Structures are given as C-alpha cells and as structure tokens.
Amino acid sequence: MAYTFWHSGILIGESELAPDPNEARHLAGVFSPTAYGLEIVPRLTGFFSAAHQLKMNLEDNGLSADEMDREALEHVFDTTPAGRKIIDIGRALSGVEMRAPDGKRMEFSSIGFSDLTELRSLLRDMEPDSAHDLDDLPPDAPRYIVSATLHDGSSPRDEDTFPRPPEPRWPLDN
C-alpha cells in the first residue's frame, strides 16, 4: 500500500516508498501526484537548481556563503530569484504531511520532491559534455520522486489516524 502526501489538508499524491538500505530512517520512491498535486508540485521541486543558481550568483559576485554574516545571507535570499525560490520551496514543504498506508501521520525531519526533467536539465547545465544516467531514461519513465527522512524513532501515531480516502469513482459514460 502507498504512503500518501497532503498539502494543507489536500491530497497531493502517493508513493510506494522503499527503505534505504544504508539509512534506516530514509524512504524514497516514485511520486504519483493527484490533479491538485500537479498544480502544486512546481512549488515543491527545484531546490537543487535554485541552490546551484544561488551558488553561481554568489561566486559571480566574489562572495562565499561560508564567509557571509547572517544579515548578508538573508539579503541574498530575499533579493535574488534563486533565493526567493528556495524560500518558497521551504514554505510549500512546511505544509506537507506524510501518512503511512494505514492513514497514520508520519513525522519526518526532512522531505524533498524532485522533478527528474529538472534534474536532467541541471546536470546538462553543470556538465554539458558529460553523459548522465538521467539521459538514458525512457520517455515514459516516472517524472517525480519523493525522499523523506523520518524523525528518530518515528512510527505512525495512533492518535493521528486518518481514514484512507475512497478511490475515485469515475462515471462509466463520458
């Protein structure tokens, strides 16, 4: 059964998450968005591209995040498109909730949604003359993935059980 993902109380998709053999608390899988999920997924994805753009912006201006004070970093995040994108992704992710297949809420310490077409484009920008595994994906490959790291000792909480939504019933005649 699938884990479900919700944003501000609205179902955005599901995933058959698989455990990471190297990290017990880490789960990842193909993300299958709902119609609403397709609307919001652009606000949940793009972190790697935005972080790369922000890094390039700093380097182009002779700056290093490691050497900047908090106020200067906040200014960069507030005034650059890449910084604003990162802030927006964080805000959108703060509204995401993850539920186990039985409907119980799962607490996570981190979560990320990735668009493989965006990652492919980023890799081409970063290393234009290199071949990458993402270049070999078939056209019908899944587009989105989700990755979550659960809180230490996290398990579904009984008091947070939500009923699994019913399967949609589509009319037989269109």
Q: Which domain, by its residues, includes 13?
A: 3-160
Asked whether residue 43 is domain-assigned, the answer is yes
Contact in structure between 110 and 67 (CB atoms under 8 Å): no
Asked whether residue 172 is domain-assigned, the answer is no
Asked whether residue 166 is domain-assigned, the answer is no
Asked whether residue 169 is domain-assigned, the answer is no
pLDDT tens digit sequence for 3-50 = 999 999 999 999 999 998 888 899 999 999 999 999 999 999 999 999
Asked whether residue 40 is domain-assigned, the answer is yes
> Can you give the pTM of this predicted structure?
0.80
pLDDT tens digit sequence for 72-83 = 999 999 999 999
| Helices assigned H by DSSP within the chain | 35-44, 47-60, 70-79, 81-94, 116-126
Asked whether residue 47 is domain-assigned, the answer is yes
- What is the token pair recorded at 56? 């390039």
Q: In the chain, how many domains are there?
A: 1
